[in-house]
Amino acid sequence: MTTYLLCGARLLGGAPTDVLLGEGRILALGASAAEDDRASSAEVVEAAGLVALPGLVDLHTHLREPGREDAETVASGTRAAALGGFTAVHAMANTSPVADTAGVVEQVWRLGRDAGWVDVHPVGAVSVGLAGTHLAELGAMANSAARVRVFSDDGHCVDDPVLMRRALEYVKAFDGVVAQHAQEPRLTQGAQMHEGIVSAEVGLAGWPAVAEEAIIARDVLLAEHVGSRLHVCHLSTAGSVEIIRWAKARGIPVTAEVTPHHLLLTDELARTYDPLYKVNPPLRTDADVEAVRAGLADGTIDIVATDHAPHTREDKDCEWAAAAFGMTGLETALAIVTSVMVTAGRMDWADVARVLSSAPARIGRIDQGERAQGRPLEVGEPANLTLVDPDARWTVDPAGLASASTNTPYGGRELVGQVRATFLRGRPTVLDGLAVEPVRDAGALP
């Protein structure tokens, strides 16, 4: 088997170190790496100046297969993920058919394994058909080959408090987590964008912050009541950050995610009437952006998740009100976190490794190793890692991205931080910023 010697990589942004990868694992670090017998035949990867991070893990990706292969497939979306530095993604359940049975989650898991770009961990639906009335077969999905641990009706809110309570109780049996799309449906009927000064001025129906905050407040209390893990998807308001901060101080087992777009963009962009900026939850105000940045920096918000939501031209190239909600994000996520948090001095690379790898891996229960304990990149750990040029400036070209859909809101924008290489179990899926080949080794290491 080929071994790879990464020369002079800065582990988590530290001093330059050599890293030897082989047999799917990190074989050696530092001076011993180059001296190791197994390094003599290694392929050398020049990594001077590059930061080595543990392979990124996305807890929230829409891969659209089965059902909307015109927007994305497991193969196209996971190739985009590898180019974005990811080695694992959680595939959301709002497919067609919905991933609400063991059969569908196993299908998605197999498609991911066959594609070989990243590990695909299917998310199971909470309710049958995402309809919000009957609990899906959570246990069967958990016990399937896909080993589902994250359950979500994402795209829809589990608004019935009794169903939410039952789901929280049920997933305890297999250490699962319910990931809530927090949106009070009655408060957001017909809503098109954040409710505020801009919505009033442009004349689009408003989506009040309270529609998100009311559900999060209810759900943290439910999680406390039943003693079960709750995860809050794509939190977007200052008030939501306050509620999570309060809940954590109280010891409630809640985790929260923010998307790159909610860390960067605001509702001012709706003035363009360009549906590229139409997303659920909506882009909020400057004050909200500042609150989610502060919440991420102080650990109130646990992770960054992309909510990569590819849509076809037919679904996006139309007037605002008719367009689908969602934007792509796998290939720009790391650069936005770098630009907004690292270059700005609010987070270091160890923090990036936490919010984009170890914390999402732990929430999704996808491995029990050092990475999940927050100590990635140790000898013996799976060789899932990403090399980033921390200073590279690049301009986003929608046509140059690998996703099958082009609905990125960042076209023409200059970002800092570029993925140069991604390794999945010791094999490169990306080298020199280009996709190499998938890893077809039938799954995880023993």
Whether the CB-CB separation of 195 and 283 falls below 8 Å is answered with no
Residue 94 touches which member of ligand NCD, Zn ion, none, C-beta under 5-8 Å by kind: ligand NCD
- 57 CB neighbour count, 10 Å cutoff: 30
Binding mask of the shown chain, residues 297 to 316, with x at each position contacting ligand NCD by CB under 6 A: ----------x-x-------
212 interacts with Zn ion by CB under 5 A? no
Output 79 or 181, the one with its CB closest to ligand NCD. 181
| Residue 257 found at the interface with Zn ion (CB under 5 A) | no
Is 64 annotated to bind ligand?
yes
- From CA 3, how far away is CA 428, in angstroms rounded? 10
Alpha-carbon distance of 378 to 267, in angstroms, equals 42
> Strand (E) positions, 155-211?
177-180, 193-194, 206-207
Compare residues 53 and 232 and give the one whose CB is closer to Zn ion: 232
Would the annotation count 423 as a binding residue? Answer: no
**Distance between CA 255 and CA 387 in Å, rounded?**
27
What tokens does 358 get?
Answer: 């170890």
Locate 293 and state its tokens. 């940045």
Question: CB-wise, 234 or 371, nearer to ligand NCD?
Answer: 234
Axis crossing angle, helix 102-115 with helix 74-83, rounded to the nearest 10? 50
Shorter beta-carbon distance to ligand NCD: residue 60 or 113: 60
| 351, containing H or E segment | helix 349-353
Would the annotation count 63 as a binding residue?
A: yes
Q: Which one is catalytic: 307, 351, 367, 389?
A: 307
Q: Which does 112 bind (CB under 5 to 8 A by kind): ligand NCD, Zn ion, none?
A: none
Write down the residue that tokens 């689009």 correspond to. 204
Cβ distance to ligand NCD smaller for residue 53 or 289: 289
The whole-angstrom separation of Cα 442 and Cα 158 is 35
CA angle 52-56-57, nearest 5°? Answer: 160
Binding Zn ion (rule: CB under 5 A), the pick from 181, 261, 365, 425 is: 181
Options 119, 153, 154, 381; binder of Zn ion; rule CB under 5 A: 154
User: Is 329 near ligand NCD (CB under 6 A)?
Assistant: no
Based on the shown chain and the rule CB under 5 A, indicate whether residue 307 belongs to the binding site for Zn ion. Answer: yes
Least separation in angstroms between residue 289's CB and ligand NCD is: 17
**Residue 216 Rama label (left phi>0; alpha psi -120 to 50; beta):** alpha
**Known active-site residue 307:** yes
Does 311 show up as a binding residue in the annotation? yes
CA distance 7 to 16: 8
122 binds ligand NCD (CB under 6 A): no
Q: Binding site for substrate: which residues? A: 62-64, 94, 280, 311, 325-326
Contacting positions for ligand NCD (CB under 6 A): 62, 94, 154-155, 181, 279-280, 307, 309, 325-326
Positions marked catalytic: 307
Contacting positions for Zn ion (CB under 5 A): 154, 181, 307
